[in-house]
Amino acid sequence: MFKRQSTLSLVMIALFAALTAIGAFIKIPLPVVPFTLQIVFVFLAGCLLGSRNGFQSQLVYIGVGLVGLPVFTQGGGITYVLQPTFGYLIGFALAALVIGFIIERVDTPTKKHFIGANIVGLIVIYAVAVPYLYVSLNFWLHMETSWSHIFLVGFLNSIVADFCLAIASALLAERLYKVFNSARAIPSFSKSLL
Protein backbone atom coordinates (compact mmCIF):
# COMPACT_ATOMS: atom_id res chain seq x y z
CA MET A 1 0.00 0.00 0.00
CA PHE A 2 2.93 2.32 0.70
CA LYS A 3 4.08 1.76 -2.89
CA ARG A 4 0.67 2.77 -4.22
CA GLN A 5 0.67 5.97 -2.18
CA SER A 6 4.15 6.81 -3.41
CA THR A 7 3.12 6.15 -7.01
CA LEU A 8 0.05 8.37 -6.64
CA SER A 9 2.20 11.15 -5.17
CA LEU A 10 4.71 10.85 -8.02
CA VAL A 11 1.92 10.98 -10.61
CA MET A 12 0.44 14.10 -8.99
CA ILE A 13 3.86 15.77 -8.75
CA ALA A 14 4.53 15.04 -12.44
CA LEU A 15 1.02 16.17 -13.42
CA PHE A 16 1.34 19.55 -11.72
CA ALA A 17 4.86 20.03 -13.09
CA ALA A 18 3.43 19.43 -16.58
CA LEU A 19 0.47 21.75 -15.95
CA THR A 20 2.83 24.51 -14.81
CA ALA A 21 4.82 24.03 -18.03
CA ILE A 22 1.62 24.27 -20.09
CA GLY A 23 0.68 27.41 -18.17
CA ALA A 24 3.94 29.02 -19.32
CA PHE A 25 2.71 28.95 -22.91
CA ILE A 26 -0.68 30.51 -22.13
CA LYS A 27 0.66 34.04 -21.93
CA ILE A 28 0.12 37.69 -22.69
CA PRO A 29 3.40 39.33 -23.77
CA LEU A 30 4.31 42.30 -21.58
CA PRO A 31 7.60 44.22 -21.33
CA VAL A 32 10.24 42.21 -19.39
CA VAL A 33 7.75 39.99 -17.49
CA PRO A 34 5.05 38.24 -19.57
CA PHE A 35 1.73 37.42 -17.90
CA THR A 36 1.12 33.64 -17.81
CA LEU A 37 -1.30 31.17 -16.25
CA GLN A 38 1.49 29.23 -14.49
CA ILE A 39 0.51 30.79 -11.20
CA VAL A 40 -2.88 29.05 -11.26
CA PHE A 41 -1.18 25.65 -11.16
CA VAL A 42 1.20 26.82 -8.44
CA PHE A 43 -1.78 27.78 -6.26
CA LEU A 44 -3.53 24.49 -6.99
CA ALA A 45 -0.37 22.45 -6.35
CA GLY A 46 0.02 23.99 -2.90
CA CYS A 47 -3.67 23.67 -2.03
CA LEU A 48 -4.24 20.15 -3.34
CA LEU A 49 -0.89 18.35 -3.05
CA GLY A 50 0.29 19.76 0.27
CA SER A 51 3.55 21.46 1.14
CA ARG A 52 6.00 18.70 0.26
CA ASN A 53 4.44 17.43 -2.96
CA GLY A 54 3.41 20.90 -4.12
CA PHE A 55 6.98 22.12 -3.59
CA GLN A 56 8.38 19.06 -5.36
CA SER A 57 6.08 19.57 -8.36
CA GLN A 58 7.55 23.03 -8.88
CA LEU A 59 11.11 21.77 -8.35
CA VAL A 60 10.51 19.12 -11.03
CA TYR A 61 9.24 21.82 -13.39
CA ILE A 62 12.27 24.03 -12.70
CA GLY A 63 14.66 21.06 -12.95
CA VAL A 64 13.26 19.92 -16.30
CA GLY A 65 13.67 23.46 -17.65
CA LEU A 66 17.20 23.86 -16.34
CA VAL A 67 18.39 20.63 -17.97
CA GLY A 68 17.40 22.11 -21.32
CA LEU A 69 13.79 21.32 -22.16
CA PRO A 70 12.05 24.52 -23.36
CA VAL A 71 9.32 24.58 -20.69
CA PHE A 72 9.89 28.14 -19.49
CA THR A 73 8.29 31.16 -21.15
CA GLN A 74 11.54 31.90 -23.01
CA GLY A 75 13.06 28.46 -23.48
CA GLY A 76 15.20 26.49 -21.06
CA GLY A 77 18.75 25.57 -20.07
CA ILE A 78 21.00 26.23 -17.09
CA THR A 79 21.67 29.83 -18.15
CA TYR A 80 17.98 30.56 -17.55
CA VAL A 81 18.93 31.36 -13.94
CA LEU A 82 20.27 34.65 -15.33
CA GLN A 83 16.92 35.56 -16.89
CA PRO A 84 15.09 38.40 -15.11
CA THR A 85 11.99 36.23 -14.65
CA PHE A 86 13.75 33.28 -12.98
CA GLY A 87 12.91 34.79 -9.59
CA TYR A 88 9.25 34.08 -10.29
CA LEU A 89 10.06 30.39 -10.74
CA ILE A 90 11.86 30.30 -7.38
CA GLY A 91 8.87 32.12 -5.91
CA PHE A 92 6.51 29.51 -7.40
CA ALA A 93 8.27 26.67 -5.58
CA LEU A 94 8.34 28.55 -2.27
CA ALA A 95 4.72 29.64 -2.67
CA ALA A 96 3.53 26.06 -3.24
CA LEU A 97 5.44 25.06 -0.08
CA VAL A 98 3.94 27.86 2.02
CA ILE A 99 0.39 27.41 0.68
CA GLY A 100 0.51 23.68 1.38
CA PHE A 101 1.91 24.31 4.85
CA ILE A 102 -0.96 26.66 5.69
CA ILE A 103 -3.66 24.31 4.36
CA GLU A 104 -2.14 21.31 6.19
CA ARG A 105 -2.54 23.13 9.50
CA VAL A 106 -6.34 23.19 9.13
CA ASP A 107 -8.41 20.04 9.75
CA THR A 108 -11.21 21.05 7.40
CA PRO A 109 -10.10 23.96 5.22
CA THR A 110 -12.82 26.29 3.98
CA LYS A 111 -13.00 28.98 1.32
CA LYS A 112 -11.36 31.56 3.56
CA HIS A 113 -8.41 29.24 4.29
CA PHE A 114 -7.73 28.60 0.60
CA ILE A 115 -8.07 32.29 -0.27
CA GLY A 116 -5.82 33.34 2.63
CA ALA A 117 -3.19 30.70 1.78
CA ASN A 118 -3.14 31.74 -1.88
CA ILE A 119 -2.77 35.41 -1.00
CA VAL A 120 0.16 34.58 1.29
CA GLY A 121 1.62 32.49 -1.55
CA LEU A 122 1.21 35.44 -3.92
CA ILE A 123 3.11 37.67 -1.48
CA VAL A 124 5.91 35.07 -1.32
CA ILE A 125 6.17 34.98 -5.14
CA TYR A 126 6.49 38.75 -5.47
CA ALA A 127 8.80 39.03 -2.44
CA VAL A 128 11.30 36.79 -4.26
CA ALA A 129 10.62 37.80 -7.88
CA VAL A 130 10.77 41.59 -7.70
CA PRO A 131 14.22 41.84 -6.01
CA TYR A 132 15.51 39.08 -8.34
CA LEU A 133 14.28 41.10 -11.31
CA TYR A 134 16.13 44.17 -10.05
CA VAL A 135 19.39 42.30 -9.43
CA SER A 136 19.20 40.47 -12.76
CA LEU A 137 18.61 43.57 -14.86
CA ASN A 138 21.08 45.81 -13.04
CA PHE A 139 23.97 43.43 -12.33
CA TRP A 140 23.89 40.45 -14.72
CA LEU A 141 22.36 42.02 -17.81
CA HIS A 142 23.83 45.49 -17.16
CA MET A 143 20.54 47.23 -17.96
CA GLU A 144 20.42 50.04 -15.43
CA THR A 145 16.87 50.08 -14.12
CA SER A 146 15.32 51.99 -11.24
CA TRP A 147 13.28 50.41 -8.46
CA SER A 148 10.23 52.34 -9.66
CA HIS A 149 10.51 50.78 -13.13
CA ILE A 150 11.00 47.33 -11.60
CA PHE A 151 7.97 47.90 -9.39
CA LEU A 152 5.93 48.81 -12.47
CA VAL A 153 6.96 45.93 -14.75
CA GLY A 154 7.46 43.29 -12.05
CA PHE A 155 4.53 44.06 -9.76
CA LEU A 156 1.95 46.60 -10.90
CA ASN A 157 1.56 45.17 -14.42
CA SER A 158 0.30 41.82 -13.13
CA ILE A 159 -0.70 42.01 -9.46
CA VAL A 160 -4.41 42.68 -10.06
CA ALA A 161 -4.74 39.75 -12.49
CA ASP A 162 -2.68 37.49 -10.21
CA PHE A 163 -4.81 38.47 -7.22
CA CYS A 164 -7.96 37.53 -9.17
CA LEU A 165 -6.34 34.22 -10.17
CA ALA A 166 -5.47 33.58 -6.51
CA ILE A 167 -9.15 33.95 -5.56
CA ALA A 168 -10.39 31.88 -8.52
CA SER A 169 -7.82 29.14 -7.82
CA ALA A 170 -8.86 29.08 -4.15
CA LEU A 171 -12.51 28.59 -5.09
CA LEU A 172 -11.55 25.79 -7.48
CA ALA A 173 -9.25 24.21 -4.88
CA GLU A 174 -12.07 24.20 -2.33
CA ARG A 175 -14.18 22.13 -4.73
CA LEU A 176 -11.35 19.73 -5.64
CA TYR A 177 -9.83 19.36 -2.17
CA LYS A 178 -12.11 16.53 -0.98
CA VAL A 179 -11.40 14.51 -4.13
CA PHE A 180 -7.63 14.88 -3.75
CA ASN A 181 -7.78 14.29 -0.01
CA SER A 182 -9.83 11.10 -0.37
CA ALA A 183 -7.50 9.82 -3.11
CA ARG A 184 -4.56 10.26 -0.73
CA ALA A 185 -6.48 8.58 2.11
CA ILE A 186 -7.34 5.39 0.17
CA PRO A 187 -3.92 3.69 0.65
CA SER A 188 -3.86 4.59 4.35
CA PHE A 189 -7.39 3.25 4.81
CA SER A 190 -6.55 0.03 2.99
CA LYS A 191 -3.41 -0.39 5.07
CA SER A 192 -5.42 -0.10 8.28
CA LEU A 193 -7.65 -2.96 7.12
CA LEU A 194 -4.69 -5.35 6.74
- Ranked by mean pLDDT, the top range of 4-18, 108-122, 139-153 is 108-122
Q: Can you tell me the distance from the alpha carbon of 134 to that of 84, in angstroms, rounded to the nearest whole number?
A: 8
Map out the domains of the chain as residue ranges. 2-185
Whether the Cβ atoms of residue 98 and residue 91 lie closer than 8 Å to each other: no
Q: How confident is the model at residue 5 (pLDDT cuts 50, 70, 90)?
A: low
Give pLDDT tens digits for 10-37.
999 999 999 999 998 887 777 767 778 9
Report whether pLDDT(182) > 90.
Answer: no
Q: Can you tell me the distance from the alpha carbon of 102 to that of 107, in angstroms, rounded to the nearest whole number?
A: 11
pTM: 0.89
Q: Region 127-155: what's the mean pLDDT?
A: 93
Report whether pLDDT(110) > 50.
Answer: yes
Q: 129 in helix, strand or coil?
A: helix
Give pLDDT tens digits for 153-174.
899 989 999 999 999 999 999 9
Whether the Cβ atoms of residue 42 and residue 92 lie closer than 8 Å to each other: yes
Report whether pLDDT(4) > 70.
Answer: no
CATH hierarchy code of domain 2-185: 1.10.1760.20
Q: Can you tell me the distance from the alpha carbon of 8 to that of 60, in angstroms, rounded to the nearest whole number?
A: 16
Percentage of the chain lying above the pLDDT 70 cut? 91
**Beta bridge mates, 75:** 72
